[in-house]
Amino acid sequence: MDSFSVPAGRLGRPPYSFILGYPRPAPREAERRVAELRGLGVKSVTFAGPTVLNSLPVLGKGYVGVVVLAKRAGRMVALKIRRVDSSRPEMKSEARLLRLANKVNVGPRLIDCSKNFMVMEYVEGRRIIDWAGELKGRGRAARFREVARRVLEDCYSLDRIGLDHGELSYIHKHVIVGRSPCIIDFESASTERRTSNVTSATQSIFIGSGLSSKVGRIMRIPDRDIMIKSLKKYKHEQSRSNFDGLLAVLGLDKN
């Protein structure tokens, strides 16, 4: 589907108000949200992406919000719009968690937020499962290992600051690979539970998922029992030495 842009002032009218107030748009709420967008400096929204809602293409849809491409201060950004049926009363709590991840250089950069919106860096690329499925030629194993190592390094950084992403068991939905891999979508993140970023991501990449089956065609996956033993050791003590040991078992160390 071809992409097209709509000025922010027109987003309160059908059919665009369906996205602004998804899934139950109401005229007054849509107008309030248009004013809120103006306060954030959003000039327009570009309808593009793999997910289609009411004939309008968007970047993605989750339990909390809809993500669209937008323009602000002369550059393209990702705009997350809080669903009107979301159990979350506002977006600032999620923004706080993303800002925490940003402190260790993980996730798309948070630019601004309000009650119903988050403005973030737009990370251009492909979902890791699609990217891995298209790797071809000599050196593809080395390219995949480098991306996997970077993803797990980011997961380790999150573990160290006590921020659990919460959805990395479904890593194919939450890592975009462009110029470098980026963990996205912190709507299920929490600092209130024990972190399992490294263990969840490792299991999703190498042990049991649609992604792991593609990985097995790219590189030799280590023995399952050895991987699980190393994961248990790391889970018991999330130290750098145990993390480095896991990377070595996975064949992702730099040596």
Q: Are residues 158 and 241 in the same domain?
A: yes
In a domain, 165, yes or no: yes
Q: Output the domain CATH number for residue 45.
A: 3.30.200
Q: What pLDDT, in 10s, does the model give residues 67-86? A: 999 999 999 999 999 999 99
Using only the alpha carbons of the chain, give its radius of gyration: 20
pLDDT more than 70, % of the chain: 99
Q: Is residue 255 part of a domain?
A: no
Of 95, 121, 147, the residue at which a domain comes to its end is 121
- Residue 152 included in any domain: yes
Domain boundary among 121, 144, 177: 121
Looking at the structure, do residues 241 and 181 belong to the same domain, yes or no? yes
Identify whether 19 is part of a domain.
yes
| Cut 0.85: pTM above it | yes
Task: Tell me the per-residue pLDDT of 36-69, one tens digit each, with 9 for 90 and over.
Answer: 999 999 999 999 999 999 999 999 999 999 999 9
User: Could you write out the DSSP letters of every residue in 74-134?
Assistant: TEEEEEEEE-TT-S-S-SHHHHHHHHHHHTTT-SSPEEEE-SSEEEEE---SEEHHHHHHT
The total number of structural domains that make up the chain: 2
Q: Which of 121, 143, 159 is the last residue of a domain?
A: 121
Chain segment 128-183, per-residue pLDDT in tens? 999 999 998 889 999 999 999 999 999 999 999 999 999 999 999 999 999 999 99
- Positive or negative, the Cα torsion across 99, 168, 76, 85? negative
Q: Which domain holds residue 226?
A: 126-250
**Same domain assignment for residues 104 and 142:** no
Kindly give the interhelix angle for 240-250 and 197-206, rounded to the nearest 10 degrees.
0
Q: Tell me if 83 is assigned to some domain.
A: yes
Q: Please name which of 196, 215, 72, 193 lies closest in space to residue 140, comparing C-alpha atoms.
A: 215
Which candidate, 238, 234, 227, places its Cα nearest to that of 204? 227
Q: Two tokens at 78?
A: 């990702």
